[in-house]
Amino acid sequence: MTRKTVVLFLGGEERADFTPVLGRPLGAYALESVCGIGPEAVLVLPAPGPTDLWDSLIASVGTEIPVFVLEGGRRRAAPGQAVFEALSTARSVLRKYPAGDVLVVPSSFPLVRGRTLKVVLRAHAARANSLTFLSAGGEEGGLTGILAFRSADVFPLLPGQVRAKSRSGFEGIARRLAEAGKRVGFVAAADLDEVLPARGAMGVSRAARLLRDRKNESLARRGVVLLDPDTAWIDWAAAVGPRTVIHPFVVVEGASRIGPDARIFPHVHIAGSTLGARVKVLTSTVMEDTVLEDDVQVGPFSRFRPKTRVCAGAKVGNFVEMKNTLFGPRSKAQHLSYVGDSQVGEDVNVGAGTITCNYDGVSKNPTRIEAGAFIGSGTELVAPVTVGRGAYVAAGSTITKDVAAGALAIARARQVEKPGWVLERVRARKKRGGGDRP
C-alpha cells in the first residue's frame, strides 16, 4: 500500500464470530486477512454484547499489527445505520492515526483474502476515489459491505447521515459525494466465494466447508495426498509433510504436525500431536498431546492420552491405551493392553492383556520396564514397580515387587485340578431333585 490505511473491523453476530471452525474462531479468518495487508492499525467494533472473547480471537491470529477493541460504541440499529454508529464511535480514535484511507471490513466475510482487500485499496488510490465499494457482481452489482473511503471526504458527512437515521448505508454517502463532485467507484470481486457472508447456521456451515476446501487445497499443493478431501478436516494451524497419504474421515486438530511419507488411515482423530516421518496410523486410532517418532506404527483402535511419546520404530497395536508414558524404540505392545504413567525401554515386548495398575485410589504410581524385558500375556504390574533389564515375566502373573535384571518372575497361584469333580457335583444335584447341570 502506498497510502496509510486504518481498518475498521465490524464484529457481526456474536455466535458466528466465535464459532470454532478448523481450530479457530470464525471471525479470526477475516481479521487475519485484514492484518495481512499491513495497515497502521485495526479498530474492532464488536456487535452489542460482551467483548472479552475478542482478546482470544485476536490472539489466535498472532499479528504484530496494533489491534484495538472499542467498547460501548455500537448499538442495535438498522443495517445501514449500524455502520454509521460504528464510524461515529471510531472517529475519535481514528484522529490519532493520520491515515489517508479507512478500510471497512465486516467480520462476516471469513473467506475474503488479503489480496482482494489490496485490490480494493489500489483501485481506490489509483482512481483518486473518495469512496470505493467491493461489489459481488459486475461493476455496480450487489454491495458487500466491504469498502474504502478517504476520511477527509467522508467524516464531515457523517453527522447528517446519523441524524437522518438512513437505512441506505453508504449509498446515501455516495450520492452526497457525487453531488459534491467527488469520485465514487466500484471493484468487482474476482471470486464470489470470498464475499459470501457467514450469517446464520447455514452461512457458517457453508463458510466452514469452503475454508476446509481451501486448507485441503493448500496441503495438496505441498504434495499431501488426500484420498477424499470432502471428509478430511484438518485445522488451519496443522501442518502435514509431503507424500503423506490421508484416507477418508480423518480429523487433525490444533497445531498438530505430521511428517513426510506418513499414512493416516480412516477414522483417525489426531489432536495437538506430533508425528514423525513414515509413521503409520491405522484405522480408528485417537490421540491427544502425543508424540510418535519416525517409523512408528500404531492402531487400529489404539488410544493415546496426553503426555505419551512412542519412540522410533515402536509398534502399538489394536485396543491398546497409553497415558503419560515413554514407550521405547522398537518396543511392541500389540494387543489389548493399558500402559499408564510408565517408562518402557527399548526392545521391550508387552504381551496381550498387560495392565499397569497405576492408580491406588489416592495417587498415580509409576511403572518402569527396562530394555529388552519380556512381559507375558495377561500380566498385572502393580505400581510402583520396576522390571529389570532383560527380565521375563511369566504370563498371567501379578507383579507386586521389583523384578531383577535377567530374572524370570512367576507370580500366580499353582493350578489345582480335582478329577471327577463335575460328575460328583451332578450326582449330588440329582439327589436333591435338581437338573443335570453341575
Return the active site residues: 335
What residue type is 411 in one-letter code? A
Q: How far apart are the C-alpha atoms of 290 and 305, rounded to whole Å?
A: 7
What residues form DSSP beta bridges with 45? 10
Which long-range contacts link 269-272 to residues 24+ away (Cβ below 8 Å)? none
CA dihedral 194, 198, 203, 209 (to 10 degrees): 50
Cell of 267: 477414522
The residue assigned the cell 497415558 is: 323
Q: In 3-state terms, what secondary structure has residue 383?
A: coil
CA angle at residue 144 from 153 to 42, to 5 degrees? Answer: 60
Cβ–Cβ under 8 Å, residues 73 and 89: yes
Cβ–Cβ under 8 Å, residues 325 and 305: no
What residues form DSSP beta bridges with 314? none
Q: How far apart are the C-alpha atoms of 3 and 21, rounded to whole Å?
A: 34
What residue type is 360 in one-letter code? D
The DSSP annotation for 291-338 comes to: EE-TT-EE-SS-EE-SSEEE-TT-EEEET-EEES-EE-TT-EEEES-E
Look at phi and psi of residue 108 and say left if phi exceeds 0, alpha if psi is from -120 to 50, else beta. alpha
* DSSP letter, residue 83: H
Q: How far apart are the C-alpha atoms of 57 and 98, rounded to whole Å?
A: 27
